[in-house]
Structure 1
């Protein structure tokens, strides 16, 4: 059965092969469009072979580097071409001549208002010259309150000058100061009559100073000065003083060696006494000034002579260390001094003094202080200071036992201890607004007196300025003083009577309008709250007062 099957299979394959061979010999019929018409059968890969007779038996010469030379033609122009490559000097453009700004160094001011206020000021100066300046001024202010003889008047007349050379500067000043008032104070609960006599003070002041101008080649820095005054009151009180002072400093790398010295010759005369109260001072020091700190070590040697003679030596040490440069600087120190008491200073602080005032110097035996200060650019500055002082014979004012509207000077017999904290800040909020403020806190521990008479434990002051534009300026001031105490006059052997003087706040404000660069008008209001507060017992201040006027610059 298998043999016929193989036989038939062989016949089919042979027939198929015959048909294929016969198909290759037939001509190709016209193929229909879009169909494949050629068939290629690849039997083996193509390998080209070059016969030996066709091969080139010579290697190429790679060193044949004959350059190509192109045929060039030139068109010569019979003309010289100039090339100016030099840089010319630049010529500055001429500026339009500007009109020189006219500085108005002189002004006059006049005003009047409520409370009988009259005000006048005149100031004149030589002008631009930096090498030589001179001028004069005059000031007047008078006011009158509602109470009997509540009148005040002040006048000042002065001349000044300054000359500057290459090596030194010389300045001087001559002034007359006059103040007058009445003893208008009275006891509101007493029917006793009081003496309301007039009081007047006059002071002639002269001073001169010579300072060398700093240069890198200067071997020493020095300054010499002289100050003198003659003071008098309407009675027989007189005081004359001449102070000769000077300083010298030598810098050597980071060290500075120096000396400050003065000789104060003062004579006091009143109705019942004459006395001398002169003081010699010497302050040698060594200062180490580094890039990030400063240290000053010295001594303050003070010799009193006249009616009382004694010598005191105090430390004079101070240091500064920046925590954050410019923004926060720690500082501190310890020192001491003799606090001179003068008739002129007493009358300036309290013009309602009795005759024959007791004159004695206080001694600040030790003053230890420390604090921090800094700036945040030109817009913000601050300083905070804490201190502890021990003062011998602290000066205080009390009402006279027999004439209650006059005051005597007394001294705390022993060492008084004073703790204090002071802070101040300056803020420039914008080009329009600037503010300043200062706060003071004190605590007194006295040796013999019950209280620190008329000395407040809290004071705060502030002022603000608004430059609304070039023509309008507004300013304001605020003063707050805490409660104080006074010793009420009584029998010498009886108990001490203490009177509390209430705290007060005084607010003032002013405005100025500049009409042009010469004329302006201004308005001022003082004690806007209208409170007739007291700084000294039985002496109420003026109530609200308003005045205005004009000023002229020339």
Structure 2
């Protein structure tokens, strides 16, 4: 993270959000030799270390991938936050497409004590079996001049993986351990009398994932398993598992030039969350979903008809409320039609819906400053109507513009917690004044809150290739909630816009980039102290404005030798210490320089 005095030095640099740097695995399938598509839907992980897969994918996989491609904007966190994964799932640091080498080691250092180390190594133990390891580390010293208490952070992720290729399909398996060690430094309502107050939080997460892709799509299409175990500094524990089986029969003839695909998705998802402080909430959720669908194709046009049938079993309890149980069956319609008038103009529209299990692990990825005691409730998108237009103009201009309207039950939002937490046992003052203050007890944490309502959205994405060595992309997202109970919509900006470019020169020895994010104001609640001698009261403001921001990022990498390059990254170059969440300033202008060795 870097200072303004370095901006002039970085005027020639290209974009980077130091995301989990390196080549890791997840469930994405590598599709080779397909036409360039807009990079508007960020994949969950970077490419695996396998560069080419012989005879993959078969024609039916190519067709399935092409027709099912959707362009969505991901709500990315700003690149100047403390987190390593600053742009979700996409490493936008400079990378060279020619002479791609997966084995590398990278070191970088910058202001705010920012230190990063990044490495990946892999190799074949047989012609069709590859194994590898992947490691990432990032630390910063935080905002020492802005806060009297620690705002430093360090985090790491270490994993191993294997790719196995058979005559009938491809296996991916990975296991990784990650930790994030940071502080609840966003104190805004009442300054601690002891500047050495312990604000520490640490989250540990161990994950195992597996994926099998069957080439033929004859009965078996693919199988995907994800799981993790999470714990934190305050004794919270969460176990999560998800198994998804996709069965299919593809490319059977219906009438003349009309073909069809039949698919059945079977999904089992379970999560158990247990918290050990305050109300000691316990949440157990199990969701079983069947997703039958049939898709009719004629040329590039298609009609999809299907449904989702979900059964949810959930239990919630705490030390202040009795256990509540919920068993409910859901039906969600699913239909989509796409009319391909030409490659340049494809009109589409449809309806869908579904259940999303809100977990402690997933919510921490959005907001690491959550209190370690949450009530977790699934979000139901009862229905979502949408329509749009997308196209590809001579492989040089690609776009997708769409609008939608949703009815949502238990939509999830973040809300600021009070200044003090009350004791669950009787107390004359109602607050704990004897046992000392905990690090989360300064109005510096957030909880999850839910409400029913409607959501109107407009999205737009485009990617332009004006010349061979230049790519320009842009995206916008407008969303407007109307809620039944909450007076304000918390931490959901009305408008977001991003703009990026990547440029190579000097015979691809120099790789440059640019990325900018523009986000409008958001709303939060906040607390203040009102003194009424000899006691005091807390007063809540339900319409606290958290300012919008512009975040400009540049980066560059120069290849001195085929095995050695130097890089420089400039993040948040406007230097604004804006807030993602109330009380939490991000680092100002940042500069990181380093070296990369490939082998």
Partners in 1 of 2:191 and 2:172 — Cα distance? Answer: 55
Q: What residue in structure 2 maps to residue 116 of structure 1?
A: 113
- The answer to whether residue 182 in structure 2 is matched with residue 160 in structure 1 is no
Q: Name whichever of 535-544 and 301-310 sits farther off.
A: 301-310
Other structure's SS at 2:561 match: coil
Secondary structure class of the residue paired with 1:236: coil
Contact 2:304/2:337 (CA < 8 Å) preserved in 1? yes
Give how far 1:523 is off: 0.7
Q: Give distance in 1, aligned partners of 2:163 and 2:192.
A: 55
How far apart in 2 are the matches of 1:129 and 1:514? 31
Q: CA deviation at 1:196?
A: 4.8
Which residue of structure 1 aligns with residue 203 of structure 2?
201
Task: Tell me if the contact between 1:123 and 1:137 (Cα under 8 Å) persists in the aligned partners.
Answer: yes
**Distance in 2 between residues matched to 1:130 and 1:464, nearest whole Å:** 38
Shift of 1:302: 1.0
1:52 equivalent in structure 2: none
Give the distance between the partners of 1:276 and 1:190, measured in 2 at CA.
36
Deviation at 1:406, TM superposition (A): 0.8
Q: Once the two structures are superposed, what CA deviation does each residue of 1:424-481 show, in whole Å capped at 9, x if it has no partner?
A: 1111121232111110111111110011111100111122111022221111110111
Partner in structure 1 of residue 517 of structure 2: 479
Using the size of structure 2 for normalisation, the TM-score is 0.72
What corresponds to 1:134 in structure 2?
A: 131
TM-score, with structure 1 as normaliser = 0.77
1:268 equivalenced with 2:267 (yes/no): no
| Distance change >3 Å, CA 497–CA 451, structure 1 → 2 | closer
Do 2:248 and 2:263's aligned partners in 1 also have CA atoms closer than 8 Å?
yes
1:404 to 443, 453, 463: 443
Q: Alpha carbons of 1:396 and 1:129: their partners in 2 closer, same or farther (altered >3 Å)?
A: same
244-253 or 513-522: which moved more? 244-253
Is structure 2 residue 585 aligned with structure 1 residue 543? no
CA contact under 8 A between 1:103 and 1:127: conserved in structure 2? no
Counterpart residue number, 1:426 = 463
CA shift digits 1:149-179 (9 cap, x unpaired): 1212221111111111112222211111211
Which residue in 1 is equivalent to 2:23? none
**Aligned twin of 1:240:** 239
C-alpha RMSD of the superposition = 2.1
Change in CA separation of 1:538 and 1:248 when aligned onto 2, cut-off 3 Å? same
Q: Which residues of structure 2 form unaligned runs of 5+?
A: 1-97, 254-258, 316-325, 421-441, 530-536
How many positions carry a matched residue from both structures?
447
2:362 is paired with a residue of what secondary structure? helix
Say if 2:546 and 2:579, in contact at 8 Å, map to a contact too: yes
- Residues of 2 paired with 1:504 and 1:128: CA distance? 49
Number of the residue aligned with 1:288: 296
Cα 1:269–1:294, aligned 2, differ >3 Å: closer, same or farther? same
Q: Which residue of 1 aligns with 2:397?
A: 380
Q: Which residue of 1 aligns with 2:101?
A: 104
1:357, distance to aligned residue in structure 2 (A): 0.9
Q: 1:227 and 2:264 equivalent?
A: no
- Aligned partners of 2:157 and 2:177 also within 8 Å: yes
Distance 1:428 1:103, change over 3 A: closer
Distance in 1, matches of 2:402 and 2:302, equals 18
8 A Cα contact 1:105 1:126, kept in partner: no
* Equivalent position of 1:523 in the other structure: 568
Distance 1:407 1:179 in 2: 18
Provide the rounded CA distance (Å) in 2 between the counterparts of 1:519 and 1:244.
Answer: 42
CA distance in 1, matches of 2:583, 2:370: 13
1:242 Cα deviation from its structure 2 partner: 1.7
Structure 1, residues 121-161: CA drift from partner, whole Å, max 9, x if none?
A: 11112169773222111001111222331212221111111
SS class of match (2:588): coil
The Cα shift of 1:323 comes to 2.0
Larger radius of gyration: 1
Paired residues of 1:180 and 1:198 also in contact (CA < 8 A):
yes
Which of 328, 341, 355 is residue 345 of structure 2 equivalent to? 328
Q: Does 1:316 align with 2:334?
A: yes
- Counterpart of 1:391 in structure 2 is 408
What is residue 55 of structure 1 aligned with on the other side?
Answer: none
Alignment check: 8 A CA contact 2:114 2:140 kept: yes
SS in 1 for 2:283: strand
8 Å Cα contact 1:490-1:497 kept in structure 2: no
Where 1:396 maps in the other structure, the secondary structure is strand
CA drift of 1:266 comes to 1.5
Distance in structure 2 (CA, Å) of the matches to 1:127 and 1:516: 25
Give, in whole Å, the separation in 2 of the partners of 1:497 and 1:467.
48
Secondary structure, counterpart of 2:467 in structure 1 = coil
Deviations 1:198-225 (A, max 9, x none): 11111111111222222xxx74342222
Match of 1:77 in 2: none
Change (3 A) 1:446 1:102: closer
CA pair 409-223 structure 1, distance change in 2 beyond 3 A: same
Gaps of 5+ in 1: 1-100
Counterpart selection for 2:546 from 501, 513, 523: 501
Question: CA 1:108 to 1:191, structure 2 compared with 1: closer, same or farther past 3 Å?
Answer: closer
SS in 2 for 1:346: helix
Which is worse superposed, 425-434 or 125-134?
125-134
